[in-house]
């Protein structure tokens, strides 16, 4: 009895164990056959949970790239100038070169005849003729007394807009000098401007072979031409001399280089009356009355004023200065139609004559002291 009971008890225990094992196997099989549960919590919640469990390492502070150096800007600018030059050279067919040669070899009877011929010539860079309605080059140069036999200095020729007109007009009987920054230097935009001028003069020996560059030294203004010039042209550049703090030195050099009664021709963007010259110059504008007083104090006499290049539509109140207007359009596509309707800036056009007095008169039209940087 005791053995049997033990066996029966043992059998019951073994049966219970067997049933439990089968149940466990069934549950495991079901769990394996079901797909894993998918979380419906938002990703941000998961990220928050992770952040709570283990804080993320703080991101390294962003570092802004250092601005390019003057040397780097000069290198990049020269590369762009080379590409533009190649495009321009492709335009110079043998026919165009022959036409330019005839233009430069013609002996013109008057400035009017010469300027009409060069203004209509196909040698002009694409787009330049479109600026004539704003810049009035024939009327402006005649107002300054240009003649086919004049000796002329163009200060700050920039992209050569006036250079390509003056060079052929003066090639036969006159002489053209142009100031030029070091084309191979590392002075940023100044060097690029000098390099572009160099490429322009190389474009057409037929037109520019007789043009003589005058090297510029921004720290030591000097024109090595003692009383050899009939006309000095400073077109849309006077405000830059104010910005550089070199206007007094350059006015003295212009006077030194001009013949007795030689002409200093000035065109610049006209600021609102009474504007501070140092402030307005940074926006490209200068007050006309201040400019007249300043130049007369340097040994010149105002001979005549002209409104040839006036534009009453110019409100002169643009945060980005005169460069907001065409042809620069500094704001790009923003309000482009509005600024195109205004046109180029309002400009004063002043003709000065070198005075006979040996020393310049004193003047109250001083450039305010430049703020320390």
Q: Which residues contact 151 (CB under 8 A, 6 or more apart)?
A: 174, 175, 177, 228, 229, 230, 231
| Contact (Cβ atoms closer than 8 angstroms) between residue 204 and residue 90 | no
Is 290 part of any domain? Answer: yes
The answer to whether position 373 is within a domain reads: no
Per-residue tokens: 230: 């009939």
Q: Is residue 327 part of a domain?
A: yes
pLDDT band, very low/low/confident/very high, at 365 (cuts 50, 70, 90): low
- Token pair, residue 37, equals 């549960």
The model's pTM is 0.80
pLDDT score recorded for residue 60: 52
Read off the pLDDT of residues 102-142 as tens digits, 9 standing for 90 and up. Answer: 999 999 999 999 999 999 999 999 999 999 999 999 999 99
- For residue 23, the model assigns a pLDDT of 35
Whether residue 65 is contained in a domain is answered as: no
Q: Does 299 reside within a domain?
A: yes
pLDDT at 188: 83
Residue bearing the bigger pLDDT, 12 or 103: 103
> Is residue 349 assigned to a domain?
yes
Residue-level pLDDT at 67: 87
Give the percent of the chain with pLDDT over 70. Answer: 79
Q: Over 60: is that where the pLDDT of 240 sits?
A: yes
How far, CA to CA in Å, does 309 sit from each of 96, 236, 344? 31, 11, 9
Average pLDDT over residues 69-89: 94
The pLDDT, as a whole number, for residue 359 is: 56
Residue 35 has pLDDT above 90, yes or no: no
The domain that holds 135 is classified in CATH as 3.40.50.150
Cα–Cα distance, 154 to 158 (Å, whole number): 10
CA distance 152 to 114: 15
When divided into structural domains, the chain yields a total of 1
Q: What is the pLDDT of residue 24?
A: 37
Q: What is the pLDDT of residues 151-210, one digit of tens each?
A: 999 999 999 999 999 999 999 999 999 999 999 888 788 899 999 999 999 999 999 999
Average pLDDT over the chain reads 85
Whether pLDDT at 31 is above 50? no
Contacts 24+ apart (CB under 8 A), 215-221: 215/179, 215/180, 215/181, 215/182, 216/179, 216/180, 216/181, 216/182, 216/190, 218/181, 218/187, 218/190, 218/244, 218/246, 221/246, 221/249, 221/250, 221/253
User: Are 335 and 279 contacting, i.e. CB atoms less than 8 angstroms apart?
Assistant: no
| pLDDT confidence band for 148 (50 / 70 / 90) | very high
Over the stretch 46-64, which tens digit does the pLDDT of each residue have? 333 333 334 444 455 555 6
Is 331 a member of any domain?
A: yes
> Is the CB of residue 232 less than 8 Å from the CB of residue 263?
yes
- Give the residue among 195, 197, 204, 203 at the shortest CA–CA distance from 177: 197
pLDDT at residue 150 in the model: 98
Residue 310's domain comprises 70-354
SS3 112: helix
120: its two tokens: 């209509």
Model confidence at 9, pLDDT cuts 50, 70, 90, reads very low
Residue with tokens 């002291």, as numbered in its chain: 369
Taking 90 as the threshold, does the pLDDT of residue 19 lie above it? Answer: no
Distance CA 146, CA 124 (A): 20
Does residue 11 lie in a domain region? Answer: no
Q: Which residue has the higher pLDDT, 42 or 186?
A: 186
């Amino acid at each position: 009895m005791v053995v049997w009971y033990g066996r029966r008890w043992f059998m019951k225990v073994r049966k219970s164990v067997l049933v439990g094992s089968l149940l466990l196997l069934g549950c495991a099989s079901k769990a394996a056959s079901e797909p894993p549960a998918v979380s419906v919590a938002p990703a941000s919640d998961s990220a928050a949970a992770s952040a709570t469990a283990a804080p993320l390492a703080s991101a390294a502070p962003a570092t802004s790239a250092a601005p390019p150096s003057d040397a780097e800007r000069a290198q990049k600018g020269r590369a762009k100038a080379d590409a533009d030059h190649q495009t321009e050279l492709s335009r110079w067919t043998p026919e165009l070169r022959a036409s330019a040669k005839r233009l430069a070899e013609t002996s013109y009877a008057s400035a009017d005849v010469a300027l009409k011929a060069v203004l209509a010539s196909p040698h002009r860079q694409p787009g330049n003729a479109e600026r004539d309605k704003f810049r009035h080059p024939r009327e402006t140069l005649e107002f300054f007394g240009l003649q086919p036999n004049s000796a002329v200095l163009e200060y700050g020729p920039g992209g050569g807009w006036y250079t390509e007109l003056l060079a052929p007009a003066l090639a036969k009987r006159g002489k053209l000098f142009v100031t030029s920054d070091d084309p191979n230097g590392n002075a940023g935009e100044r060097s690029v401007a000098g390099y572009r001028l160099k490429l322009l003069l190389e474009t057409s020996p037929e037109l520019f072979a007789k043009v003589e560059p005058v090297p510029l030294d921004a720290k030591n203004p000097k024109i090595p031409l003692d009383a050899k010039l009939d006309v000095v042209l400073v077109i849309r550049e006077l405000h830059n001399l104010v910005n550089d703090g070199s206007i007094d030195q350059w006015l003295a050099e212009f006077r030194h280089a001009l013949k007795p009664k030689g002409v200093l021709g000035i065109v610049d963007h006209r600021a609102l009356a009474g504007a501070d010259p140092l402030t307005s110059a940074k926006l490209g504008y200068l007050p006309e009355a201040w400019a007249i007083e300043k130049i007369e104090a340097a040994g010149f006499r105002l001979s005549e004023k002209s409104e040839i290049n006036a534009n009453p539509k110019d409100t002169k109140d643009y945060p980005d200065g005169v460069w907001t207007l065409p042809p620069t359009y500094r704001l790009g596509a923003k309000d482009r139609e509005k600024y195109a309707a205004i046109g180029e800036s309002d400009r004063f056009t002043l003709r000065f004559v070198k005075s006979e007095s040996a020393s310049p008169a004193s003047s109250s039209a001083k450039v305010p002291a430049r703020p320390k940087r």
